[in-house]
Amino acid sequence: MDSHHHLCYKMQECFNAIRNKISDCNSLQDRHGSRYLINGKVVIEHSPGLSGPGKSATVQVYSSTVIDPNTRKGKLSGKACLKKGKSSKKDSTKTTVYKIKLHVEPGFGNPGAFLIENNHKHRFFLQSATLVPPENNVIHFDCRSWVYPIKDTNTSRLFFSNTCYLPSKSPACLVELRKEELESLRGDGTGERKEWDRIYDYDVYDDLGNPEKGPDHVRPVLGGSRSRPYPRRGRTGRPATKNGTISLDTYVPPDERCSPKKLSEFIANAIQATAHFLLPEAKSLPRDSSSFESFGDIRDLYSNNRRQAMRGTSVTEKVKKFVPAQLFKDVTHVIEEVDIKFPLPQIIRANQFAWKLDEEFGRQMLAGTNPTRIHCLREFPPRGTLTESYIEQSDIEHNLDGLSFEQAMKQWRIYVLDHHDYLLPFLRKMYSEGVCPCASRTLLFLRNDATLKPLAIELTYPGSSNNVAGMKTMVFLPEKEDIPQALWQLAKAHVAANDSAYHQLISHWLHTHAVVEPFIIATRRQLSVMHPIHRLLDPHFKDTMHINALARTVLINAGGILEKTLFTGKFSMELSSELYKQWRFDEQALPSDLIKRCMALEESENPRGAHMLFQDYPYGLDGLDIWLAIQTWVGDFCDIFYEDDASVKSDTEIQAWWLEIRNVGHGDKRKEKWWCQMTTKADLKRTLTTLVWIASALHASVNFGQYSYAGYPPNRPSRCRKFVPEEGTMEFAEFLKDPDKYFLNMLPDRFEASLGIALMEVLSRHTSEEVYLGQRATSEWIDNEQVKQRFEKFNKSLREMEKQIMERNGDPELMNRRGPAKVPYKLLYPDATKVETSAGITAKGIPHSISI
């Protein structure tokens, strides 16, 4: 190499060294000097017709390590505007990703929380945020919350990172922020709530009646008294709707509301189901109170392919009256056409008359939509709190498949479906409203093949006296001859009506929707979003408060759909309150429930806690598998954050949470001795497992099979318009003339039946946003790898159960898994493997929450 080239080479080396040194200095200045930067991105959803907030929204971050001595909070950065937004559109939602750059002082440390201020004129949905400090440890914020304009709220919104802390382990910089956030969510218990208010408080059910419409629409207040106890609901501070119209703007805190997409889907489903009433083209569904003329007449309600364009019909005009403008636009986008007939329910797809068989009648008590009421009879005759059964030993002992009565009782082979004594005080009042109500007891025998054979039905109905002693009682036995068999079929219809009302009001509404709402309110008020138990429970509360608020507007209110369709009528919610007196949270744990009903034996060494008396009880067997998976997951989660019993007892937020649930949320039960003391890890694990079970699997088991079974009124009538006729009466002569006609006249009339079918169709549909047990809406839902590993283990166990359930359904020896109607039991099939959610009536899948 010549000297010239050598000199150039040395100069290039020197230049590179200087450039690298400058780069190092700049990098050092970025990290330790005035150019210390935190990069990040913010993901926002908004309606396509509206612009994103852009520079009208600003972000500030709080340090998790450096305290500002003036505020006792973490050091607060300067403001950064959202900029360089990149948008994408999917369906009716527009998502914009913004970049942010925050300049902070040297030694600021990692962000632990951030403030966002919305100076835009519209609200936006903050999906998530990600911050990357110079150390490159990515910090996630799973926000999923509405941010309203500051002109309405007068304050910025605070979000904590996905890192969870028990109160005693919170970084000092975040302690005051944690406390202030909880205080703001509790409010002061006064004032009418505005749309943007994030306040959680309790109230009694004083919004079910509508006195302005007359005395017939007056309803008692539920909750707050010994005579009518009830769980608390969320307080709105608003008077009840008085004009009798459907209202979709009932207040619930913004983070509890269904997304616009889900709400539009829900409304579209309701339009789809009720098009039979709104479309003049639906000639096959008269809107009068006439009876069905034949079973073929009922069958004509159903079809698969007849559709009608929605735009330009009377449907759109009717919907406009109760749906906000933007929501109406979303609804009409979702649903361009409607079916003018109902889809065919599963119960009549394979065999349209299998529902009439006694074997199918018994099977549905184990694998139908209400499998939680039947229990094993341990003493004979059956006794209630008011009466003793009229069924005698001689009525059933000849029908026990060769066993003596004593042998059948000793082997726990006689079962009872009891809808008797709790109904007796209401029968005469219901009768005065124009229905023909009965209270029932049904005895069944467990055969060697584990199917249930009905033995006898006891029906009690109003007599000439106003007291229980003045009631009339009839006992019916299964018969093969035409006339006695037809009477038996009528008796089964009354049993089904009893079970339908109990299912809707107790198993479904009270035991899931109503009892969970106080837990949601207490969680928001007493557990910080930083608390690990808040993070565990959050997906199990999604949309529940909003669904319950809508139910109080259209379902359980005076003149609502349940009053119009159930035989309990205007006394429906009063009856629900009466049965809340029997509710115990500890008995909602599945093993405890099965043991109490003598469907299983306690087995402490069994991880499930119980051993089934017979395996072919689909709800019980599949349910215990799901229970064990939830119990294991919850236990693993708690073990990560709680070292011992003392750490539970010293957790101030958990103790306040549990105290509020017992004394306020379920305050009418505050003096009950069965509440646990919440002083051990075992107490916490059992409580959380039970709560997750109720919100997910229990609700799925009693909700998503409704259309399959109750979508066909002869199988599960919701009310009866005639009693079973007594021999020698005019009604009996009418019955003898045409037993099928009498049965059809007993069923709900055309309008009531169609309204009931429509309700079953709406309630049984999954929405496209459904997130199922074992899934999470985002992979970054928590910044804890140990938790994520345990959650993956939970997901794997659920996927294994899916295979097991399908194997059981294919086992010919497990006859209750399909039954004569060939309806496979999949109501506790988790669907945890599903990646893309498909909406519709699937009769399977366990959503995280009570979201319909």
Give the catalytic positions in this structure. 508, 513, 699, 703, 852
What is Dmax (Cα atoms) for the chain? 131
Give SS3 for 782: coil
Residue 460's φ and ψ, nearest 5 degrees, are -120, 135
- The partner residues of 444 in beta bridges, in order of sequence, read 415, 454
- The partner residues of 115 in beta bridges, in order of sequence, read 60, 158
Residue 168's nearest CA partner among 669, 453, 528, 439 is 528
CA angle 792, 795, 796 (to 5 degrees): 90
- The partner residues of 417 in beta bridges, in order of sequence, read 442
**Could you give the residue ranges of the DSSP H alpha helices within 436-477?**
none
In Å, what is the CA distance from 177 to each residue of 508, 651, 771? 39, 18, 31
Burial 9-44, CB ≥16 within 10 A → b, else e? eeeeeeeeeeeeeeeeeeeeeeeeeeebebebbbbb
Distance, in Å, from the CA atom of 842 to the CA atom of 717, rounded to the nearest integer, reads 22
Distance, in Å, from the CA atom of 440 to the CA atom of 420, rounded to the nearest integer, reads 5
Residue 301 DSSP one-character state: T
In one-letter notation, the amino acid at residue 371 is P
Distance, in Å, from the CA atom of 76 to the CA atom of 66, rounded to the nearest integer, reads 9
- Residues 6 or more apart whose Cβ sits within 8 Å of residue 592: 586, 609
- The partner residues of 232 in beta bridges, in order of sequence, read none
Are 694 and 508 a contacting pair, CB within 8 Å?
no
Distance, in Å, from the CA atom of 574 to the CA atom of 589, rounded to the nearest integer, reads 25
- Residues 6 or more apart whose Cβ sits within 8 Å of residue 830: 626, 772, 773, 774, 798, 799, 801, 802, 845, 846
DSSP string, 218-240: ----BSSSSSS----EE---SPP
